[in-house]
Structure 1
Amino acid sequence: MRKSADWMTIADERILEFLRDNESGTPTTISRNEDVRFGRSHIHQRVKKLESHGLVRFLGNGVYVLTDEGKQYLDGQLDAAELEPDDDN
């Protein structure tokens, strides 16, 4: 079972699952996925939040990938409530 944090939303779950299944993505490509169902702008805000907590990494040109911590979270091996935000993001 996944252990989410109070700052997380259902959009975060969908974004992380998309990145696991597709290896990488931009807010635009993620928003076009029928399982995600959130707009590009909202996804952009959420990937920045996920990045600040270390669950995704920004590669440049709008592309994000899942980090090892993101994979551990999806596998139920990481409690997201224990992650501290990086104020630089």
Structure 2
Amino acid sequence: MQLVDERILERLAGEGDGTAWMIAFDLNRNRGRVAERCRVLAHAGFVDRVPRAHVDDKWVITDWGRLYLDGEIDADLRRPSPSPRPPDKVRPGWYAGFG
């Protein structure tokens, strides 16, 4: 958990949902950095992504995020789960000698 992560959670808890651009503007941060941290927070379960067609996704705080802000859970115990490797990035079986 980084300082910007806590600011993002506090902003979402206080102001409600928002796009990465809106959050970055409110926190005076870089939009790309905020979007990256929102994705990490989503993998850890602290925020949810609300996809929207042709515009930036919105981010909303989850119950886990609220519990973290209230000091009820430790962020070190909630690790982001690694995303699965895309099918086009998997090496063929013959590469490792299985095929």
TM-score bin (small chain): 0.7 to 0.9
More helix as a share of residues: 2
Show structure 1 runs of 5+ residues with no match.
Answer: 1-7
Say whether residues 1:45 and 2:45 are aligned partners.
no
Report percent identity of matched pairs. Answer: 34
Output the TM-score relative to the length of structure 2: 0.76
Across the aligned residues of Structure 1 and Structure 2, the Cα RMSD in angstroms comes to 1.3
Output the TM-score relative to the length of structure 1: 0.84
1:1-89 alignment, distance < 5 Å? 8-33=1-26, 36-61=27-52, 62-88=57-83
Number of aligned residue pairs: 80
Runs ≥4 residues deviating over 4 A: none
Which structure exhibits the higher relative contact order, with contacts defined as CA atoms closer than 8 Å and separated by 6 or more residues?
A: 1
Show structure 2 runs of 5+ residues with no match.
Answer: 85-99
